[in-house]
Amino acid sequence: MVGIGRGAIKANGETDTSTGFAYGAGIQFTPIAAFTVDAGYEGSKVFGAQVNSIIVGAGWKF
């Protein structure tokens, strides 16, 4: 995934916004019927700061 990220900061009654590059990748698999496991990475750069996230999840399909 590649796109644009937008952030906003509100302080002292004023709001500042920044737009930057955003990207991510992930996988999802089903080890047993009705159960899924997923993992991913997301990154973006707004307000001159690099933000990175690692996401791990599990789900039950019913």
Residue 34 region by backbone torsions, left for phi larger than 0, else alpha for psi between -120 and 50, else beta: left
**CB hemisphere CA count around 12 (13 angstroms):** 1
For 58, list phi and psi in degrees, rounded to 5: -145, 150
pLDDT score of 58: 97
| Residue in 18, 16, 20, 9 with CA at minimum distance from that of residue 44 | 20
Q: How confident is the model at residue 6 (pLDDT cuts 50, 70, 90)?
A: confident
> What is the per-residue pLDDT across 9-61, written as a single tens digit (0 to 9) for each?
899 999 999 999 999 999 999 999 999 999 999 999 888 889 899 999 999 98
Q: Whole-prediction pTM value?
A: 0.68
